[in-house]
Amino acid sequence: MPRIPRMVVTDPGQKTAYHVISRTALDGLPFKQVEKDELVRIIQRYSAVYAVDVVGYAIMGSHFHLLVVVTPGEMVRRYHLLYGEGTGFPEARLSEFRDRFSSLSAYIKDIKQTFSTFYNKRKKRKGTLWGERFKSVIVQEGNALINCLAYIDLNAVRAGIVNRPEAYRWCSIGYRIQTGNREGFLSSELGTPEFGGADPATQVGSYREFLYHMGAIEKRGKANISQKILGKETSKGFKLPQAARLMYKSRYFTDSGIIGSRAFVETTYGLFKGRYQTRREKIPEAVEGIEGLFSLKRLADT
């Protein structure tokens, strides 16, 4: 049976939002903390190269969701991000590269192939990692987009992993709250003018209130945000105090093994590394949201 053509808008002047879902072909939940971290980094890299704005994402144990807006734009900068600043841009191929960097399929292909290489090398395996080709849905900006984003950000809640959506580090609301949207990775445009207009902080606050109400709706066979938690957030006006922001990082100070500057973590770990039997060298990892702080372990904020 021939493949059904993917619905992709090809008008180079039109912005289009897509919800992308891709699942692994492996059994169980093969993506753990390290794999989820790496997949987020890969998405960040290619989202800077391709003409896309990432509105939302969720990396789960067996699949990932992406909500992106394809926005054709300037090509030379993107070419140099991918191939290096010293590489001359082939002007005669401008149209070709415009098509490529505006291609949803090429963008997802690069993400999945790069991650497959990482995963197979890490696990010392060969063969297919991903299942059938990725699914994509064209999403209208406005009400449809914000509801799709909520669906994505509530994945970890519905799976019973966390009881608050921003407590899950590998999703867009977790990234926005825990890092303050570091390096502007996620789009500040949520597609809903009533969510605070152009002010990103107001938009996120309004979206978080919307998200909690959506998450409190009970769905058969799925977990939900409890009415008790919803009531607490409502009483606070859905404002997130600094103490709550720090709470998401507190486990670094109790469970990280070693925490400090990169040099301190490397030097101190060197005193003990002979005691551990491990195939993988431990590398200091930055503590998200705290400049210059590193830990020996990356911890899930769950």
- Residue 72: pLDDT over 60: yes
Q: Find out whether 123 and 132 touch, Cβ atoms under 8 Å.
A: no
Name which of 149, 171, 174 is nearest 245 in CA terms: 174
pLDDT digits (tens, 9 = 90+) for 34-51: 999 999 999 999 998 898
Residue keyed to tokens 């009881």: 163
- Residue 301: pLDDT over 50: no
| Average pLDDT of the chain to the nearest whole number | 80
pLDDT digits (tens, 9 = 90+) for 89-141: 666 665 666 667 788 999 999 999 999 999 999 999 999 999 988 988 989 88
Per-residue model confidence (pLDDT) at position 1:
43
Q: For the stretch 224-247, what's the b/e string if a residue is b when 16 or more beta carbons lie within 10 angstroms of its beta carbon?
A: bbeeeebeebeeeebebeeeeeee
Q: Half-sphere exposure of 209 toward its Cβ, with a 13 Å CA cutoff?
A: 14
For residues 18 and 190, give the distance between their C-alpha atoms in angstroms, rounded to a whole number: 13
Which domains does the chain possess? Answer: 11-139 (3.30.70.1290), 140-248 (no CATH), 252-295 (no CATH)
pLDDT digits (tens, 9 = 90+) for 198-222: 677 778 888 999 999 999 988 888 9
Average pLDDT over residues 17-23: 92
Per-residue model confidence (pLDDT) at position 10:
61
